[in-house]
Amino acid sequence: MTDTDDRRCAWARNASELMTAYHDTEWGRVSHEDGYLFEMLVLEGAQAGLSWSTVLNKRENYRRAMDGFDYERIAAYGRAETDRLLADPGIVRNRLKVASAVRNARAFLAVREEFGSFDAYLWERVPAPVVGHWTSAGQVPVTTDLSDRLSRDLGRRGFNFVGSTIVYSYLQATGLVEDHLEDCPAKPG
């Protein structure tokens, strides 16, 4: 193990190459692309009750099975498409999670209609990235007032699998919350 490995956020230490690459180059980085924001919403919802490594290992299968996370196409999915997804061993074949991806695509489109983009909706609620200044993994919260508020608002807008813990993880993944440990070499400057 190198010094860099020792200083990485605890969940990325001794991790697979895929997890390490995700941690080092993607997690906590701001994205303003609605396609990516939707992809992460689907993946974070799929993670409920599972490990992130399980979902991350299935990410390419999700991309293939869900039309590259094209939210407009997914919003139009009917029974045939959801049955096809439920039969696909490359993704998490949970009926509620698959239905959630379709439902969330429809809600995502409604938010885009109202705000111009999902990105605009999010950044109206989080005007600047929230930066954690944590020195140990035990300090990093799993929910905050922000994730509680956003979770409730998303729920009112028709989204599901958006409990506060999932939403906080989503905020971290998409860079609205930056929670790399202070000495983590991947912490954005």
Catalytically active residues are 22, 44, 52
Instruction: Give which of 124, 121, 126, 139 is closest to 177, Cα–Cα.
Output: 126
Long-range contacts of 124-127 (CB under 8 A, 24+ apart): 125/149, 125/150, 125/153, 126/171, 126/176, 126/177
| SS3 labels along 113-161 | HHHCCHHHHHHHHCCCCEECCCCCHHHCCCCCHHHHHHHHHHHHCCCCC
Other C-beta atoms within 10 Å of 94: how many?
A: 16
Question: Both tokens of residue 107?
Answer: 């809600």
